[in-house]
């Protein structure tokens, strides 16, 4: 018993001595306090940014706070814990032999490198299911039906047998339906397929029609509840006049929402439209052109539009530079992270952003070539 008490007392002395030896001095305590204060300040700023992101579905900084693409910052490959984007996305990776070569592939968000090839493909239209299990695409080979291939890799299988016509396609947020662009005569339309039942429904845009110039330009999006589709309908290529319509997928009923007038920046310059998860507003990306017409400076700005009222909220500047093209942006299933691609005179690059400075996934030198002429090149993708 006495031996046990003696051992315990000796151990207590040892612990006290160790703690005393490791106790920092006054200078060290002051240094730690300053570092702790800086961390708290950084966290406070981050909290403000993320709070703003909740209000806009994705926390992107306001205009003027991002570096231009002319002088991009160094790539970042790690995100803070809890705000990391999906680990991978699907991109159309060019084969180097022109527009007829290439493949759909899974690409790492962290490294920008191809993880696995999925299917040989020269058609740039594809869609990833929200559960990230399937990639739907229109086959480049006859018959040009819609197919799907597992994201994990495997054999592609045919989904439709209704003709090869299709442009942009998208899976509903609940994963139950697939929609794609078609034309019913001169009338633009969307076709929706119930993936479980195998039934399809045509949703032609209602008139009055002025001829084949009426197009949707590929700018449409599923609502977060998977019940509606929001569509930009352009009335004549030369007029630039367009409107936003929504259609109830179950009833086929279309509703005019608003015209893209000066409040929304007009109908020109719209390059992307999404309806982020958890948001009642559409996210749109527009082009602002300024400077010398021979070498204009293009600024791509994110904004938000309430489809019920047409009220517009300006958002962040995604990129700015000369001879710059932004490829359609894509939100991840959570609606928090935005993936987009950029091309300038001699490079293509892919970026993502949730708040603060956009993170570059990969930058590829293409020189004077088109991306399709550079093996391994890709611009943006889909989560």
**Average pLDDT over the chain, rounded to an integer:** 76
Structural domain total, the chain: 2
Domain of residue 77, CATH code: 2.120.10.30
Lowest mean pLDDT segment, chosen from 53-67, 89-103, 161-175: 53-67
Range of the domain at 40: 2-44
Residue 106 placed within a domain: yes
> Does one domain contain both 13 and 77?
no
Same domain membership, residue 27 and residue 170:
no
* 307-316 tens-digit pLDDT: 888 888 888 8
In a domain, 49, yes or no: no
256-291 pLDDT, tens digit per residue, is: 998 876 555 555 567 788 998 888 899 988 888 888
Query: Model-level pTM?
Result: 0.75
- Which tokens is 106 given? 């899974």
Residues 13, 105, single domain; the answer is: no
d(CA 118, CA 91): 10
The alpha carbon of 220 is separated from its chain's Cα centroid by a whole number of angstroms, namely 14
Beta strand spans in 205-324 (E): 220-222, 228-234, 242-248, 254-259, 270-274, 282-290, 297-305, 312-322
Helices (H) and strands (E) counted in the chain, each on its own, are 2, 23
Q: Which residues contact 63 (CB under 8 A, 6 or more apart)?
A: 301, 314, 316, 317
Q: How confident is the model at residue 215 (pLDDT cuts 50, 70, 90)?
A: low
* Whether the predicted pLDDT of 85 surpasses 90: yes
Structure confidence at residue 12 (pLDDT): 47
Q: What is the pLDDT of residue 163?
A: 58
Residue 81, pLDDT > 70, answer no
Answer whether residue 20 is part of any domain: yes
Q: Residue 51's CB: how many other CB atoms inside 10 A?
A: 11
97 shares a domain with 160: yes
- Pair (89, 30) in one structural domain: no
Q: Do residue 98 and residue 149 come from a single domain?
A: yes
Are 155 and 200 part of one and the same domain? yes
What percent of the chain is modeled with pLDDT above 70? 68
**pLDDT category, 365, cuts 50, 70, 90?**
very high
Shared domain check, 70 and 38: no
Q: How many other CB atoms are there within 10 angstroms of residue 277's CB atom?
A: 18
Strand partners, 319: 300
Does residue 205 form part of some domain?
yes
In this prediction, residue 328 carries a pLDDT of 80
52 part of a folded domain: no
Q: Could you tell me if 104 and 225 lie in one domain?
A: yes
pLDDT of residue 51: 33
Q: Residue 243: pLDDT band by 50, 70, 90 thresholds? A: confident
The pLDDT, as a whole number, for residue 72 is 38
Alpha carbons 17 and 313: distance in angstroms, whole number: 62
Residue 53 domain flag? no
Do 238 and 135 fall within a single domain?
A: yes
Same domain assignment for residues 262 and 231: yes
Q: Which residues of 193-212 are buried (b: 16+ CB within 10 A; e: fewer)?
A: bebeeeeeeebbbeeeeeee
- Which pLDDT score is estimated for 263? 59
Pick 209 or 279 by higher pLDDT. Answer: 279
């Amino acid at each position: 018993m006495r031996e046990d008490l003696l051992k315990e007392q000796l151990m207590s002395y040892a612990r006290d001595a160790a703690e005393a030896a490791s106790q920092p001095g006054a200078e060290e305590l002051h240094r730690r306090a300053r570092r702790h204060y800086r961390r708290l300040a950084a966290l406070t700023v981050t909290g403000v940014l993320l709070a703003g992101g909740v209000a806009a579905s994705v926390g992107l900084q306001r205009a003027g706070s991002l570096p231009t693409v002319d002088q991009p910052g160094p790539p970042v490959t790690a995100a803070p814990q809890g705000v990391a984007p999906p680990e991978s996305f699907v991109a159309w990776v060019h084969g180097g032999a022109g527009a007829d070569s290439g493949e759909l592939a899974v690409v790492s968000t962290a490294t920008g490198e191809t993880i696995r090839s999925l299917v040989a493909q020269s058609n740039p239209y594809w869609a990833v299911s929200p559960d990230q299990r399937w990639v739907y695409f229109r086959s480049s080979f006859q018959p040009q039906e819609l197919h799907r291939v597992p994201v994990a890799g495997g054999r592609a299988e045919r989904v439709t047998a209704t003709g090869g016509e299709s442009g942009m396609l998208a899976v509903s947020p609940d994963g139950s339906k697939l929609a794609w662009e078609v034309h019913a005569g001169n009338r633009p339309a969307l076709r929706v397929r119930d993936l479980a039942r195998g039934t399809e429904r045509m949703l032609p845009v209602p008139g009055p029609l002025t001829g084949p110039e009426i197009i949707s330009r590929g700018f449409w999006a599923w609502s977060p509840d998977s019940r509606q589709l929001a569509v930009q309908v352009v009335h004549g290529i030369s007029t630039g006049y367009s409107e936003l319509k929504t259609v109830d997928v179950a009833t086929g009923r279309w509703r005019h929402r608003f015209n893209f007038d000066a409040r929304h920046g007009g109908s020109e310059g719209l390059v992307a439209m999404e309806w982020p998860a958890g948001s009642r507003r559409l996210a749109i990306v527009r082009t602002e052109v300024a400077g010398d017409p021979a070498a204009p400076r293009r600024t791509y700005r994110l904004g938000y539009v309430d489809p019920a009222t047409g009220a517009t909220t300006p958002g962040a500047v995604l990129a700015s530079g000369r001879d710059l093209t932004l490829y359609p942006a894509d939100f991840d299933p959570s609606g928090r992270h935005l993936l987009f691609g950029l091309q300038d005179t001699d490079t293509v690059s892919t970026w993502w952003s949730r708040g603060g400075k956009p993170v570059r996934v990969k930058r590829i030198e293409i020189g004077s070539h088109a991306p399709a002429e550079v093996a391994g090149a890709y611009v943006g993708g889909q989560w």
